[in-house]
Structure 1
Amino acid sequence: MNDLQTYFFTDEATVKALDGVSFDINRGEVLGVVGESGCGKSVTALSILRILGERGRIVGGSIVFHRNEDSVDLATLNPRSKEMMSIRGKEISMIFQEPMTSFSPVHTIGNQIMEAMIIHQQLDKKEARELAVEMLRSVNIPRPETCVDRYPHQLSGGMRQRAMIAMALSCNPKLLIADEPTTALDVTIQAQILALMKELQKESEMSIMMITHNLGVVAETSKNVVIMYLGRIVESGTVQQVFHNPLHPYTRALLRSIPKLGKKQGKRLASIEGTVPDASRIPPGCSFHPRCESFIRGVCDVKKPEIVDAGDSHRVSCHLYGGTYDGE
């Protein structure tokens, strides 16, 4: 993905949901995408799958998807074209944020898993049903022969999430986009889901784009990480680099906000003051400057920072590092 720009055109304003996002996901790699709600994480996923809706449009940049023998720029394809529809759900699939609302409430779990298999693998209904049962078994759902005929509301949250993973993996995708795969799950089920995804990822050597606001999930699953804020990447690198040597003030603030064992009882958790601004009214200069503890008047509120190389693939977009301000 290179310099991706995705805008939503509404009656009131133009919302710049993504404003120049660039990153790579290598084969067999897990990339963590982190940021608060409203930073553009899910829009990045929807842009890759080209399911932005009528008001969303990619206005610039590229999304190059490397297949077995060739590559294709997804940003140039018609979302309704046969080529894009053959990629969506087969070569690139997605675990949506909330399976209760993502699954159809009027169709059984089995029918929804079977649909993708019938379309993309040209299986008949009997073959698709047998494979759907096997997929449910592979994600450790008990009695899959019975579960395949149940409706989403008849399953617990953890079971629905496992069924969503089974559906996403049913066609052996090359890239799996996991959008908050552990949202609304208790800690025990979260650990089980993450362990399951790691196991399946190693078996199939697929790439995973792990979208989350939970830095613990990234530390547990990912090799590389990008930190997003208001439609831009503010820092990127390996998990070790970003977690042990955070450069951007936003990254440092996120890490400080993680609850830590051993803290005195009654001590307040660190928090980031303010909220993510409306993407239709992005502040001038660095978009984080209204909330930044290292704000430099006349610099941060005037000019957008460029992305600079901090060494060994560690990159940051901040005036504190090179460019217009070097700290002197």
Structure 2
Amino acid sequence: MKVDLFDFDLPQDLIALRPARPRDAARMLVVDGDAPFADRTVMDLPGMLRPGDVLVFNDTRVIPAQLEGRRGEARIGATLHKRIDLRRWQAFIRNAKRLKTGQQIEFPAGVTAIAETRHEDGSWTLAFAGEEPVEVLLERAGRMPLPPYIAGKRATDEQDKADYQTMFAREDGAVAAPTAALHFTDRLLAALDERGVRRETLTLHVGAGTFLPVKAEDTDDHRMHAEFGRIDAETAERLNAARASGGRLIAVGTTVLRLLESAADPDGTIQPFADDTSIFITPGYAFRAVDGLMTNFHLPKSTLMMLVSALMGRERMQAVYAHAIENGYRFYSYGDSSLLLPQENA
């Protein structure tokens, strides 16, 4: 399909630079099958779901994966996006033309790395000196990797350390937050519990590739980035049992949806999973494991706009986004939410 089919015009003042306060006060646009759109708030979520439904969350934790350093007199920026092993990470490099294989980059707090290998996508493998895990080094020398559409408008600050982390964050390794879950609070979870809505967690370490623009003119020519995900056997068993008993699996975020679909058999059975996934979901995809999606509003012509169009239909999502823009919904990572429930048995 032509990438231009997923384009739309977004007023710049609708890009959220800070989250709602409190988090569960964010607006939520409910799209339930072919029913009229419903303008709600995130605190209304329990009433939109049924007892026995399962919300599935991503427990990845964002690490301070953005580094500013020097190679001689040249300033070098690095955004780590995929762990290779204890000492080596793949990174997108700013000012990469000033960097050659084997050269050393000096970062703050005595952190150094060698530019080991350049990859086809322009990223590099950086090998960090010392014996400490790179995640420990980042706590000293790194900063939170805010998305470019926020970082381009304001500086990162101390508040982002809390704001850009979900309440479910447990497993270090993401360089972008699973932002759909940023809206959740203790009081919202209590209301969901009272409603009889269950919850499960899995892990997908979101990479910086999630922000890469689709440069191809046709979706068939786009190469999706890979991210590591894990679903343990016990979680897979509970998810399958919930669905077998009539509960719906509602993915909280596109990362969760992509991992569940990667782990599912053709009949929808979710298998244990521990591997990279580069699944690319576009209209025409037959969903196996997911019955709904809670997600923020995405960038024009992005792989995530294609994913939600696959779930709900491209024309339907164009109408959803037109409604959101007309009614002043806030967009992107710190923005408002949507609850997308496809027509059942469609």
What TM-score do the two structures reach when normalised by structure 1? 0.30
Greater share of strand residues, 1 or 2?
2
State the structure with bigger RCO (CA 8 A, min sep 6), 1 or 2: 2
What TM-score do the two structures reach when normalised by structure 2? 0.29
